[in-house]
Amino acid sequence: MFGCSPKVNVVVLPEEGGKVGAVEYVGVDGQKQVLDKAYEAIAIDKSGESKKANLDAATVAQKYGSLLSAMPNPPKSFMIFFGSESASLDGKDLSVIDEAVSYIKSQKAVEVVCAGHTDGLGQKSYNRELSLKRAKAVSELLSKKGVDERLIVVRHYGCANPLEKVEKGKSSPKNRRVEMIVR
Amino acid sequence: MWKLLVLLPFFAFAAWGEAAAVVKSVSGEARLIKNGVERAAQKGDKIEVKDKIKTLKNSNLSLIFSDNTVVTVGQNSEFSVDEYLFEPSEKKGRFGGNLQKGSLACVTGLIAKMNPESMKMQAKTATMGIRGTYFLIEVEE
């Protein structure tokens, strides 16, 4: 029983597109180990002692294939933009909404966030209200187009989360938007 | 008017009951332990801080967090969320995951991008700092 103390294995993997981030581990000796190359691994025993290794794609696929193949697609965003001081979708090109709806259905989405935003023109409280109206307009249209409304979460951020940084008080068409995040 | 009354509780929930994650998929059998009560975990379940997930043999469960972090819990595993905070407007975020048993794979989201200290994963006695990446952790018994 005491002979088989648990060991922790960590492996860093390449993201889609080959990007590799980093995992850090500070050992009992205070030494920091950084894993920042694809398939770099570390084994840590119960006492905190660690040993680094370089694995390869084939070894990782063989050992962890069933875990990695269960990873779902990452969330996907769809963006629709609004006119100045408007929360209306009338007369707009709604193809992005249709695209989102078919993605929601094909992915069997479990959550759809409608996050409303404004640009920096006007009062904060006015912008919060406007961003909510925009988010609600999109969420209502999604449910009209057959998305189960229990999946939809409405969020509004006013002008606090701009897509592009602009000078304070300046208008910005890019920031007047609702982001649909499909999970 | 009738419709408004029906919708009211839903919006109240959305405002106050901020979940950390939602269950994206369950393959095989997985359990969710919430406030000491255990039941079968299902697609669409909301996961909050302190909830625990257990998977059985040949089973796995995937989670998508509010900051878009994706976690798949492998077979025969136990995973809980010790700490979770995501407030994009205030640029605040903390992620503390805890793997007691088994394995997980993770693609990080927005929290890990905030600063190098904001995301941690614990596995048994070891704690890793996560700086935005795709990785896996396994507890080998």
Nearest C-alpha of chain B: how many angstroms from A92? 27
To probe the interface with B, which of A1, A7, A8 has the most B CB atoms within 10 Å? A8
Query: How confident is the model over B21-52, as pLDDT tens digits?
Result: 999 999 999 999 999 999 999 999 999 999 99
Contact A110 B62 (CB under 8 A): no
What is the per-residue pLDDT for A2?
A: 44
For residue B61, report the phi and psi dihedrals to the nearest 5 degrees.
-145, 135
- Range B11-17, long-range pairs (CB < 8 A, 24+ positions): B11/A154, B14/A153, B14/A154, B17/B46, B17/B48
Candidates B27, B56, B64, partner chain A, best to mutate (most A CBs within 10 A): B64
Which of B22, B88, B105 has the CB atom closest to A110's CB atom? B22
CB contact under 8 A, B136 and A153: no
User: What does pLDDT average to over chain B?
Assistant: 89
Fill in the DSSP letter of residue A173: G
The ipTM of this complex is 0.90
- pLDDT of B7 > 50? The answer is no
In chain A, the N- to C-terminal Cα span, in Å, equals 43
pLDDT in tens, B92-134: 999 999 999 999 999 999 999 988 889 999 999 899 999 988 9
One digit per residue, the tens of pLDDT, for chain A of length 183 reads 344 567 999 999 999 888 999 999 988 788 899 999 999 999 999 888 999 999 999 999 999 999 999 999 999 999 999 999 999 999 999 999 999 999 999 999 999 999 999 999 999 999 999 999 999 999 999 999 999 999 999 999 999 999 998 887 788 999 999 999 999
